[in-house]
Structure 1
Amino acid sequence: MLSVTEAARQTGLSTRRVRALIAGGALRATKVGAAYAIDERDLDNFVRHERPAYIRALSPRIAWAAAALLDGVQPTWLRAEERSRLRSRLASAGTSRGTWQAWTARLAQTRMTFKASPAQVEAVMAASSTVRSGRSASNLVTDPLVGAVSAAVWTHTLDDVDHLRRTLGLLRSSAGNVTISVPPPFGLPALGADGRNAFRLVVAHDLLTENDPRTVYAGTALLAAITTTEGFKS
């Protein structure tokens, strides 16, 4: 169970706003004496369903900095005081899936889908300009979901996407089996810690946006593993 203060920290809302949401019936809570206790599952459901109205997404540069810190990489694109504030925020963020999905909603500037053959899928994942994410990542905490018929990758720029499209003969399709995402252009030096996969928070975000239950389970497990680590707090 969470206090109002803990729920406020996890959602980025003020304690006054949390109490108002409880009073208005938008957020379930149990009265314990003079205080309120909030079940983590209720908070998670609230954030996932009400996020557009109440929870503000992190800016792309802050969201990517959070992803870097959680994988032990210094986000050099932030000022020292910004890094310090972000570490403090992450230290009290909790593990609510809904909160993290809300915060990372603006990771991508663009997502494109393409129709590709198995050989083209392999070529996309092997390209030097891409890192794997979602089901294609190999840094999952559960069994890898890598399949020969689909790919989810990130590149630095739209020019990288255009080069892949022209070189590999990829065809745009709303029901394509290759998804290529691009972050906003703020000078992000790296998309992941190991050069092969995107930062794990990015991988988890991409897993959680899919409808397949096994994929969502993998995203939930990965997110739990990331957000309970202590390394980034030092």
Structure 2
Amino acid sequence: MLSVTETATRTGLSTRRVRALISGGVLRATKVGAAYVVDDRDLDDFLRRERPAHTRAFSPRVAWAAAALLDGAQAGWLRADERSRLRSRLTSTGAAPGTWQAWTARLAQTRTTFRASPAQVEAVLSAPSTVRSGRSASNLVTDPLVGLASATVWTSTLDDVDHLRRHLGLLRSDAGNVTISTPPPIGLTALGTDGHNAFRLVVAHDLLTEDDPRSTSAGTALLNAITTSRAISS
């Protein structure tokens, strides 16, 4: 059984919000004396059913810091007290995909799709200004989703996107097979730890936003791996 405070820590909500959800019947709880307690199974059910509708997205700087810390990297753009609070939240949260997707909803400042030939796709993936994410990442915990003439990548700046567009002759298209995302200008020093792939939390986020079951399954598996072995940077 979890107290309201423990439930708030597990979910990342305020205690006031947890009490409001209990009062509204959204989150099942039992009253013991003057206090409410929440069963772990009821909390898991809530996270699966309702969490995205009741969570607040991390600010971009916090979302990227979470991704960095979970991969054992530094997040120097946050103050020391902000990193401490974030570490506490990251170590106490389960692997429910809805929770993490809601938290990381503001990772991207821009997300642009282009129509590209197989040769252009390969050029995007091998460009020094890009790191791979989603289906294109090579650090998945399941079989890589190969054989797809597509690319999902991140670049540091909008200038990088424009350079790739002009240099490779990419054509914007809402139904394109190349997706290039950029983070807000928040002082990031890197988009990943190995120079080739985005942070794993970013990869998982991009996989979970795909429509096909293989991608979402891979995203869930990667998220489980991240939360099972949280090598959070100190």
> Does TM, scored on the shorter chain, surpass 0.5?
yes
C-alpha spacing 1:4/1:233, structure 2 compared with 1 (3 Å): farther
Deviations along 1:137-159, whole A, 9 cap, x unmatched?
A: 01111100133410000000000
Q: Are the counterparts in 2 of residues 133 and 153 from structure 1 also a CA contact under 8 Å? A: yes
- Tell me which residue corresponds to 2:178: 178
Measure the CA separation in 1 of the matches of 2:43 and 2:219.
21
Amino acid corresponding to residue 62 of structure 2 in structure 1:
I
Match of 1:91 in 2: 91
Is the 2:208–2:219 Cα contact (8 Å) retained in structure 1? yes
Paired residue type of 1:41: D
Report the CA distance between 1:176 and its aligned residue. Answer: 0.2
8 A contact 2:109–2:183 mirrored in 1: yes
- Which residue number corresponds to residue 38 of structure 2? 36
Q: What is the identity, as a one-letter code, of the residue corresponding to 1:131? A: V
Amino acid at match of 2:51: V
Structure 1 position 128 matched with structure 2 position 128: yes
Q: Deviations over 1:180-215 (max 9, x none)?
A: 000001121100000000000000000011111111
For 1:85-137, what per-residue CA distance to the aligned partner results, in whole angstroms no more than 9, with x for missing partners? 22112111222211111110000000000000000000000000000000000
Change in 2 beyond 3 A, CA 1:147/1:154: farther
Is the contact made by 1:121 and 1:148 (CA closer than 8 Å) also made in structure 2? no
Q: How many Å apart are 1:47 and its aligned residue?
A: 1.0
Counterpart Cα distance in 2 of 1:8 and 1:212: 33
Answer yes or no: is 1:46 the counterpart of 2:50: yes
Measure how far apart 1:3 and its partner are.
5.2
Structure 2 distance, partners of 1:14, 1:146, is 42
Deviation of 1:14 after TM superposition, in Å, equals: 2.0
Tell me, in whole angstroms, the C-alpha distance in 1 between the residues paired with 2:138 and 2:112: 21
Structure 2: any 5+ residue segments left out of the alignment? none
Rounded Cα–Cα distance in structure 2 between residues aligned with 1:105 and 1:10: 19
Identity %: 72
Code of the aligned partner of 2:50: F
Deviation at 1:79, TM superposition (A): 2.0
Q: Distance in 1 between matches of 2:123 and 2:3?
A: 50
Question: 1:167 is aligned with what amino acid?
Answer: H
Please tell me the residue identity of whatever aligns with 2:38. Answer: Y
Kindly tell me the number of residue pairs found equivalent between the two proteins.
229
User: 1:232 and 1:105 mapped to 2: Cα distance?
Assistant: 21
In structure 1, the partner of 2:75 is 75
Shift in CA distance, 174/36, structure 1 to aligned 2, threshold 3 Å: same
Q: Over aligned residues, Cα RMSD in angstroms?
A: 1.8
Deviation at 1:44, TM superposition (A): 2.4
Structure 1 unmatched runs, 5+: none
Segments of 4+ moved more than 6 angstroms: none
Asked if the contact 1:110/1:181 (under 8 Å) is kept, the reply is yes
